[in-house]
């Protein structure tokens, strides 16, 4: 397993003190409206390493490691979705690029929903990829009696991630997480697994995931109230793949206007790794329509 973070050509790495944490992010591109990429689990910014060059042809791109993930800090403080949302707000202010197209996937849905609802002045549009929201059905993923996944209960139980997963990060990701949720054969390589496992193997490397999954199980009422008081008013794109229409059905419940939906058949849950060209085409078509509106 490599000891240092992986990279790709034409990407610059940065770390900034934001909201009491050291936040690692990468940037690419030099022109066009900004796109902010927000990963899920078990991911880091690296989940987007194939997508970034495609988007950077038309946009300035920033991909972040949420606090407690990747090469961002893992302090003994809160790693909940509300804190992560304020981190993103702080990052947008730190960059000074103006309003951004927010693109997020998987468990980061609650984080970016909070960001867009609380700070609409930060956001040009929202693209949600294979994600959902607590209070709108996402909690069902933890219900193993009705098809949910065991890993959520293991992650949120105090001390269990460190007890069960420490030293087994690569096996967990390479032998269970990706094989069970990827549909495009060969799309997640050994090098991808090595890079992602490297960061989860750091001291405190599970804290970000633990915090967001604990938020998912606790914030349903908060997000329903937020959706009622501050429905999304920015343009929204929902990208479904292995999860079908779940993402678009969720976003339609929290959005004041129309939701554009794209379904990528034959693709599993990790769309940016499995189908970067198709995803880039969907995002670029959407952001282009926002720019021309």
CB 151 within 8 A of CB 206: no
Residue 3 lies in a domain: no
Classified as helix, coil or strand, 109 is helix
What the block records as the tokens of 222 is 């908060």
Residue 268 lies in a domain: yes
State the pLDDT at residue 174. Answer: 96
In this structure, what DSSP letter does residue 120 have?
G
Q: Which residue has the tokens 């929902």?
A: 238
CA quadruple 252, 79, 101, 270: dihedral positive or negative? Answer: negative
pTM of the predicted structure, to 2 decimals:
0.96
- Angstrom CA distances, 228 to 240, 248, 254, stand at 24, 18, 8
Residue 7 lies in a domain: no
What the block records as the tokens of 196 is 């992602």
Classified as helix, coil or strand, 124 is strand
Give the span between the Cα atoms of 87 and 42, in whole angstroms: 19
Residue 184 lies in a domain: yes
State the pLDDT at residue 293. Answer: 65
Residue 6 lies in a domain: no
pLDDT in tens, 108-130: 999 999 999 999 999 999 999 99
Ranges in the chain, pLDDT < 50: 1-3
Q: Tell me the residue range of the domain where 279 lies.
A: 12-292
Give the span between the Cα atoms of 199 and 73, in whole angstroms: 11
State the pLDDT at residue 142. Answer: 79
- Angstrom CA distances, 18 to 60, 66, 153, stand at 20, 11, 30
In the Cβ-directed half-sphere of 26, how many Cα atoms lie within 13 Å?
A: 26
Q: Which of 101, 115, 132, 110 is nearest to 37 (CA)?
A: 101
Give the span between the Cα atoms of 212 and 207, in whole angstroms: 9
What the block records as the tokens of 19 is 């909201």
Residue 116 lies in a domain: yes
Q: Which of 101, 132, 135, 128 is nearest to 259 (CA)?
A: 128
Number of domains in the chain: 1
CB 286 within 8 A of CB 260: yes
Residue 214 lies in a domain: yes
In the Cβ-directed half-sphere of 193, how many Cα atoms lie within 13 Å?
A: 18
- CATH assignment of the domain containing 113: 3.40.50.1820
CB 103 within 8 A of CB 36: yes
């Amino acid at each position: 397993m490599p000891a240092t973070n992986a990279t790709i050509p034409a990407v610059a790495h940065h770390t900034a003190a934001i909201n009491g944490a050291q936040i690692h992010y990468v940037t690419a591109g030099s022109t066009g409206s900004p796109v902010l990429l927000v990963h899920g689990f078990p991911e880091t910014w690296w989940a987007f390493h194939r997508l970034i060059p495609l988007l950077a042809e038309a946009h300035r791109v920033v991909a972040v490691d949420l606090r407690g993930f990747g090469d961002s800090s893992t302090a003994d403080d809160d790693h909940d979705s509300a804190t992560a949302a304020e981190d993103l707000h702080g990052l947008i202010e730190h960059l000074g690029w103006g309003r951004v197209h927010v693109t997020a996937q998987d468990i980061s849905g609650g984080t970016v929903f909070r960001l867009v609802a609380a700070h609409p002045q930060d956001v040009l549009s929202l693209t949600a990829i294979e994600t959902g929201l607590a209070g709108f059905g996402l909690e069902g993923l933890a219900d193993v009696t009705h098809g949910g996944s065991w890993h959520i209960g293991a992650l949120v139980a105090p001390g269990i991630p460190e007890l069960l997963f420490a030293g087994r990060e690569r096996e967990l990701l390479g032998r269970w997480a990706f094989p069970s949720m990827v549909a495009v054969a060969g799309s997640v390589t050994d090098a991808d697994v090595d890079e992602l496992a490297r960061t989860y193997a750091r001291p405190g490397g599970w804290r970000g995931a633990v915090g967001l999954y604990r938020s998912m199980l606790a914030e349903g009422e908060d997000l329903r109230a937020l959706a009622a008081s501050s429905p999304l008013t920015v343009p929204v794109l929902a990208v479904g793949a292995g999860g079908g229409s779940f993402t678009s059905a969720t976003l339609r419940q929290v959005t004041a206007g129309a939701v554009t939906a794209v379904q990528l058949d034959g693709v599993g849950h990790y769309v940016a790794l499995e189908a970067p060209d198709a995803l880039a085409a969907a995002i670029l078509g959407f952001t282009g329509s926002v720019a021309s509106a």
